[in-house]
């Protein structure tokens, strides 16, 4: 999966480049606005743009891509893509209309000190968080570009890493929300007793909410960030983990610790799997549930070959009914993404409840690990086996991988996975797994369910 390639998503180089870009863009925006905001202030706001820059770094280094007029985008994805140009503003307006009845109220921020936003499941935090903010989607008025603000002397930012054209492009493509619309939004946010506030965040849904938190943090509020999925903790240089930890006073994990301000906590997202108990009496009609990652140009060929080998090698007398689950995406039907599967496999649309699918399956196969659903399965002791694509595990997870490989829960080769599935008594094997100290230790450190 090329996880160690230069600027790869889990490489040290990506973390370094993210930090370097944060420094440069913070200085650029302070120059543009004549301010002295901290780097941390701008990092809270800049996260989606920095991620987009790194993803399209080759285009941004090209003169062909250079435009004197940057493309606008008001959605959370702030880099020019056809999808966003055609759909972004319309989607944003719909969200605005849907949220008119639940806009951020000044009195709410004035009356509560522990404030949460961006959580998939709020129930685990009801005792710790006083008030959950519903995201606000303000309407932006169209403004002409203030090119005089963007025409900066960039000689201080050009070096062997970042060329002149690269720097000019990242300035040229700064979304209007960072330049033309910035002060209107920033000044609309009133702050109340910021030094008494703690913001609890699992993710930022849009620019305005990150701007709100950034303004409070700049004035003395604390930011507690919460791990919201797998992969975190399983790589030594997970760029999102490093970034989110760097902007937070405390980064709460699902049980592990790598960086200085990581605080082992609980896997709040997995608590929803308790609903599984209500389905425990359902007849397990599915012999094998195949769970797929998002298929991209980078992994598609590997995933197709791996799946074909699995379906050819697995004993179909035992695994008669097989269901494939594509990775869901918004509200789009994802069956087409698995069109390479034979007719003998039932392909789910991606709309079905994952809890329901797991509850009706004897065995879950993770086509690629790490995976959040792998941890969801283990949180309810569901028999699950997966193929590991992490060639650079963190020190925190390395010994756990060794244990999970030794007992056949994870595999590095599709052929050993097939042999294991074909030669075990599933129920007896899994009963033994549940009694092992190594299994319980992994659950404690990577999917801790105790508050």
CATH number at residue 318: 3.40.50.2000
Comparing C-alpha atoms, which of 217, 196, 223 is closest to residue 113? 196
In a domain, 138, yes or no: yes
In a domain, 2, yes or no: no
259 with 322, same domain?
A: no
Q: How many CB atoms lie within 10 A of CB 198?
A: 18
Cβ(207)–Cβ(76) below 8 Å:
yes
**Rounded Cα distance, 26 and 42, in Å:** 6
In a domain, 427, yes or no: yes
69 with 170, same domain?
A: yes
In a domain, 101, yes or no: yes
Q: What is the pLDDT of residues 293-328, one digit of tens each?
A: 988 888 999 999 999 999 999 999 999 999 999 988
Point out the least confidently predicted range of 115-124, 257-266, 346-355: 115-124
266 with 290, same domain?
A: no
Comparing C-alpha atoms, which of 267, 258, 262 is closest to residue 229? 267
Residue 377's pLDDT is 95
In a domain, 299, yes or no: yes
151 with 232, same domain?
A: yes
28 with 174, same domain?
A: yes
To the nearest 10°, the Cα dihedral for 205, 227, 42, 190?
Answer: 60
342 with 260, same domain?
A: no
Percentage of the chain beyond pLDDT 90 is 52
In a domain, 4, yes or no: no
Q: Which two tokens stand for residue 340?
A: 């390479």
**Rounded Cα distance, 230 and 375, in Å:** 7
Q: How confident is the model at residue 254 (pLDDT cuts 50, 70, 90)?
A: very high
**Rounded Cα distance, 336 and 49, in Å:** 30
| pLDDT > 50? residue 84 | no
In a domain, 214, yes or no: yes
Comparing C-alpha atoms, which of 106, 83, 50, 93 is closest to residue 240? 50
Three-state secondary-structure class, residue 15: helix
363 with 397, same domain?
A: yes
**Rounded Cα distance, 213 and 225, in Å:** 12
Residue 72's pLDDT is 42
249 with 346, same domain?
A: no
| pLDDT > 50? residue 87 | no
The domain in which residue 323 lies consists of: 284-446
Q: What is the pLDDT of residues 156-205, one digit of tens each?
A: 888 877 888 888 888 888 888 888 889 988 998 889 999 999 999 998 88
171 with 300, same domain?
A: no
Three-state secondary-structure class, residue 237: coil
Last residue of a domain, one of 227, 242, 271: 271
**Rounded Cα distance, 339 and 343, in Å:** 9
Mean pLDDT of 21-39: 95
To the nearest 10°, the Cα dihedral for 104, 227, 263, 373?
Answer: 140
**Rounded Cα distance, 259 and 2, in Å:** 24
Q: Which residues pair with 203 in a beta bridge?
A: none
| pLDDT > 80? residue 281 | no
337 with 201, same domain?
A: no
Last residue of a domain, one of 271, 302, 331: 271
Q: How confident is the model at residue 142 (pLDDT cuts 50, 70, 90)?
A: low
258 with 298, same domain?
A: no
Cβ(374)–Cβ(386) below 8 Å:
yes
Cβ(424)–Cβ(408) below 8 Å:
yes
Residue 273's pLDDT is 83
Question: Structural domain tally of the chain?
Answer: 2
User: HSE (CB half, 13 Å, CA atoms) of 184?
Assistant: 11
Mean pLDDT of 386-412: 97
296 with 404, same domain?
A: yes
Last residue of a domain, one of 246, 271, 296: 271
In a domain, 34, yes or no: yes
Q: How many CB atoms lie within 10 A of CB 382?
A: 20
């Amino acid at each position: 999966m090329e996880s160690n390639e230069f600027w790869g998503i889990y490489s040290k180089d990506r973390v370094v480049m993210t930090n370097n870009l944060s420094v440069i863009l913070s200085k650029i925006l302070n120059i543009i606005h004549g301010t002295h905001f901290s780097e941390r202030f701008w990092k809270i706001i800049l996260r989606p743009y920095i991620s987009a820059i790194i993803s399209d770094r080759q285009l941004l280094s090209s003169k062909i891509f250079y435009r004197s007029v940057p493309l606008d985008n008001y959605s959370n994805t702030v880099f020019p893509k056809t999808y966003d140009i055609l759909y972004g503003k319309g989607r944003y307006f719909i969200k605005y209309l849907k949220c008119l009845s639940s806009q951020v109220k000044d009195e709410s921020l004035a009356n509560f000190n522990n404030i949460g936003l961006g959580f998939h499941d709020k129930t685990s935090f009801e005792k710790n968080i006083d008030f959950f903010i519903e995201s606000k989607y303000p309407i932006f008025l169209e403004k002409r570009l203030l090119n005089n603000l963007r025409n900066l002397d960039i000689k201080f930012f050009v070096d062997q890493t970042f060329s002149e054209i690269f720097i000019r492009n990242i300035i040229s493509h700064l979304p209007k929300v960072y330049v033309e619309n910035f002060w209107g939004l920033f000044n609309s946010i009133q702050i109340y007793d910021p030094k008494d506030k703690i913001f609890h965040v699992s993710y930022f849904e849009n620019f305005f909410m990150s701007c709100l938190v950034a303004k409070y943090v700049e004035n003395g509020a604390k930011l507690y960030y919460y791990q919201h999925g797998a992969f975190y903790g399983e790589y030594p240089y997970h760029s999102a983990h490093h970034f989110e930890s760097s902007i937070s006073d405390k980064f709460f994990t699902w049980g592990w610790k790598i960086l200085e301000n990581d605080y082992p906590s609980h896997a709040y997202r997995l608590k929803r799997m308790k609903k599984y108990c209500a389905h425990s009496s359902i007849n397990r009609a599915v012999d094998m549930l195949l769970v797929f990652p998002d298929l991209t140009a980078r992994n598609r060929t590997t995933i197709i070959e791996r799946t074909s080998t699995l379906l050819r090698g697995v004993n179909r007398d035992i695994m008669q009914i097989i269901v494939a689950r594509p990775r869901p995406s918004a509200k789009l039907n994802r069956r087409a993404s698995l069109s390479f599967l034979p007719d003998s496999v039932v392909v789910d649309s991606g709309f079905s409840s994952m809890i329901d699918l797991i509850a009706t399956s004897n065995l879950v196969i993770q086509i690629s690990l790490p995976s959040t659903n792998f941890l969801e399965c283990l949180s309810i002791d569901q028999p699950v086996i997966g193929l590991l694509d992490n060639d650079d595990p963190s020190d925190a997870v390395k010994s756990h991988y060794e244990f999970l490989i030794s007992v056949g829960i994870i595999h590095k080769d599709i052929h050993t996975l097939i042999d294991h599935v074909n030669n075990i008594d599933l129920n007896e094997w899994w009963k033994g797994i549940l009694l092992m100290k190594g299994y319980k230790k992994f659950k404690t450190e990577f999917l801790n369910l105790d508050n």
